[in-house]
Amino acid sequence: MPDNFDVITFDCYGTLIDWNRGIRAAFAAAAERSGITMDPVAALAAYHTVEPEVQAADYRPYRDVLAETARRAAASIGWPMDDATAAFFASSLPDWPPFDDTNPALDRLHVAGYRLGILSNVDDDLLAATITHFSAPISLIVTAQQVGSYKPAAAHFVAARERIGGLRWLHAAQSHFHDVVPAARLGLPVVWVNRLREALPPGGPAPLAEVPNLLALAEWLGA
């Protein structure tokens, strides 16, 4: 049985929102718009390779990160995506759906008395639109736009700590690279929501716990 926490924060895209499904659908819609045929699975793989490189450069709004990453990923599979199509790709993010277990788990945690929050590599307006998919209230929000950097930089966690104060805080996320590593470095209890069934990276910090999905997290917390 874990310690009793007061606040649980989540990464959003990939943890609460079905990130891979959303990216594939966005590439498919953009390709249809452009009248081309492409492999959305290859585009998705290219996207995951390119995005950390784009985020590691000087800070820019996440809409620009999405568009630039889409352009570079498309170019890597032989598709010269134009700026208008890249902007269309970025604007689709609020339509990306939550995982089937997201709302049932968030509802259970809310009813159990936990305060819920999100730490996300995104712009305020994009996250505000995404949050309409969630049935439980989200009372704490820290975005890349607010802190001027992208995880795995520590600024999201530092800002959240300042806002949470002395309450007992647990973070939960799918990405070991973006969330588990910086949370562990700061001594923050973190649960790895390992939806992709990935192996723990060699030498990487171990999370407090590892669960396959959010309902398993709710069970682990006794909610």
Q: Are 136 and 50 found together in one domain? A: no
Please give the average per-residue pLDDT across 173-187, as a whole number. 96
First-to-last CA distance in the chain?
Answer: 11
Please give the average per-residue pLDDT across 177-200, as a whole number. 96
Question: For residue 62, what pLDDT band results from cuts at 50, 70 and 90?
Answer: very high
Please give the average per-residue pLDDT across 135-153, as a whole number. 97
CA 58 from centroid of its chain's CA atoms: 20
Q: Are 205 and 168 found together in one domain? A: yes
Q: Are 166 and 77 found together in one domain? A: no
Q: Is the pLDDT of residue 124 over 80?
A: yes
Domain end position, chosen among 52, 72, 95: 95
67-110 tens-digit pLDDT: 999 999 999 999 999 999 999 988 999 999 999 999 999 999 99
The rounded distance, in Å, linking the Cα atoms of 176 and 200 is 8
Angstrom distances, CA of residue 192 to CA of 43, 74, 157, 187: 26, 30, 16, 15
Q: Are 45 and 132 found together in one domain? A: no
Please give the average per-residue pLDDT across 22-27, as a whole number. 92
pTM metric for this prediction: 0.91
Quote the mean pLDDT of the chain: 94
Q: Are 136 and 211 found together in one domain? A: yes
Residue 142 lies in a domain: yes
- Mean pLDDT check: name the lowest of 3-12, 31-40, 63-72: 31-40
Residue 83 lies in a domain: yes
Question: For residue 64, what pLDDT band results from cuts at 50, 70 and 90?
Answer: very high
What percent of the chain has pLDDT above 70? 99
The better pLDDT of the pair 90, 216 is held by: 216
Q: What is the pLDDT, as a whole number, of residue 32?
A: 92
Would you state the structure tokens that stand for residue 208, as one six-digit string? 């407090």
CATH of the domain at 149: 3.40.50.1000
Q: Is the pLDDT of residue 3 over 70?
A: no
Q: Is the pLDDT of residue 125 over 70?
A: yes
Q: What is the pLDDT, as a whole number, of residue 57?
A: 86
Angstrom distances, CA of residue 207 to CA of 97, 161, 190, 191: 27, 18, 6, 6
Q: Which domain holds residue 189?
A: 7-18+97-220
Domain end position, chosen among 33, 67, 95: 95
